[in-house]
Structure 1
């Protein structure tokens, strides 16, 4: 997956996770609350992975540009 895809999926998982937590609190479902918390954390991880991929690509592009300028 690309960095943008990871970020989008991460954001979606965060939103869904927060919603599950809210519904779980409203209904008294500890299971739904914990599922929501886990999904939210998964989303944060996906977003972080997307950020890391983007940073690595940017660094590689800068390095390639520097090499090409020296040639």
Structure 2
């Protein structure tokens, strides 16, 4: 699998996982879990963008 495709796939996975943690944190009234989910979601978006850049650059 190409590096760019792998980064985009992992980014999407982390976005979904972060969103789930964020919702779980809200439901259980756990601000720590909600913040952790938000951070992971943002990290997933960044990783997805890195994959897009790699694809454009041909890496």
Q: TM-score, normalised by structure 2?
A: 0.94
Q: TM-score, normalised by structure 1?
A: 0.79
Once the two structures are superposed, the pairs formed by residues 8-19 of structure 1 within 5 Å of their partners are 8-19=9-20
Higher relative contact order (CA 8 A, sep 6+): 2
* Structure 2: gaps of 5 or more residues: none
Structure 2 distance, partners of 1:35, 1:23, is 11
Q: Which has the larger radius of gyration?
A: 1
Structure 1 distance, partners of 2:26, 2:39, is 15
Matched length: 58
Q: Which has the higher helix share?
A: 1
Please give the root-mean-square deviation of Cα atoms over the aligned residues, in Å: 1.4
